Amino acid sequence: MQHSDPRSRFQSTQNIYHAAIQSGLILAQIPTCDGGTNESLRYGMVMAEELYAVDPSIALTILGTGLGLSPLLLFGNPAQKKEFLEPFLAKEGTPLASFVASEVGGNANWLDPSPTARGVQTFIEQDGDDHWILNGEKIWATNVGGWTSRGSDLMCVVCRTKDNSTPLSSMSIVIVTRFDIDANPADAFTIVDDFEMIGHRATSGPHIKFTNLRIPAKNMLCEPGSGAHAVETVFTASTCMVAAFSIGIMRTAFEKALIFAKSETRNGSQTIIHYQSVSDILISMKTKLETSRGLALRAVELLESQTSGELGYLAKIYCSESAVEVVADAMKVVGVDSYRADFGFGQLMENALVLPVFDGGNVGVRRRQVQKLFESEKYDPRISLD
């Protein structure tokens, strides 16, 4: 069945998501110490590669819930984890989580202290001693609209206090649940635009708006001043996951091109794998695939043993950009038939194109993070050798 709009395509995947929950794929993103089955970030990377190699849209919805839970898992207190994790620990229903960080207009300069910089425009204000009021607009947050466009079951929303303090000292993260949204007027949470995307066409990340959304004080996950560190921590770990997404796409592109080269003669006397020009391209593709996997695995080792994010940033940059290159190379191997929609290379390219520009774009965020490390007097260029 064809679905003409992004919302209906996303909703059509709910049964698959339910099967994923029953199979334990959400529990697999929750650490064992919190009631899940995940033993390490490397464990999550393996799962991410396998999922992305098959269907990036479904994979992003499943893994988007893991990202959405990450602030709670890393920074939640015991009472918050007990209350808010419960729906995700049961193998039933279709609960979605979302990390709601990206601002309309971009996040690359979200901590710019200049008075003329807009930065994060999602604000919280205290409402007495027991509530907060949330206002602002967000975009690109996977799963944020939920299955019915009334919000995901749990959102970790990056926001700041509305005062004269700097972005760094005012940044916060609050938890918003579907229960909170239902307890507010209908216009407190709205979908501004459920726009069409180039790739990941069955994934949801709409433009949403909070208007005087009232949430309990207990939903404060990261107090003002601690939110920036939490966001940086979550998005450092996610570099390795995007590297795994990229590896999954590269793997599929390489295998499709290899099968084609070993089975097609293109009306010649031998299969095209025997032509050096074709094999040279395949060798280059496989090299990028394996170097990407090796870099990503080393990045995880350093992140877990030394909390060093450098190789994670480099892995996100290298793997995501290599994914686009590898898909293009696969199309060169196949030739003009790769331009046919039914061959699947167009869809691979559409999905690969977002990898360098989301989860902290390589130009606006990730390369600047590496540059900042290099500029530091304390930078050790040999840290990856330890």
The DSSP call for residue 133 is E
Contact in structure between 64 and 56 (CB atoms under 8 Å)? no
Contact in structure between 262 and 333 (CB atoms under 8 Å)? no
What residues are annotated to the active site?
359
Sequence letter at residue 145: G
- Cα(246)–Cα(69) distance, integer angstroms: 22
* Phi-psi region at 199: left, alpha or beta (left = phi > 0; alpha = psi -120 to 50): beta
Q: Tokens 């030394």: give the residue.
A: 306
Contact in structure between 314 and 262 (CB atoms under 8 Å)? no
Structure tokens at 326: 């590898």
Q: Bridge partners of 172?
A: 159
Structure tokens at 320: 């995501």
Q: How many CB atoms lie within 10 A of CB 182?
A: 12
- Cα(202)–Cα(368) distance, integer angstroms: 31
- Cα(125)–Cα(160) distance, integer angstroms: 9
Q: Tokens 């390219």: give the residue.
A: 349
* Cα-based angle 233, 358, 72 (whole degrees, multiple of 5): 35
Q: Backbone phi, then psi, for 229, in 5-degree steps?
A: -60, -40
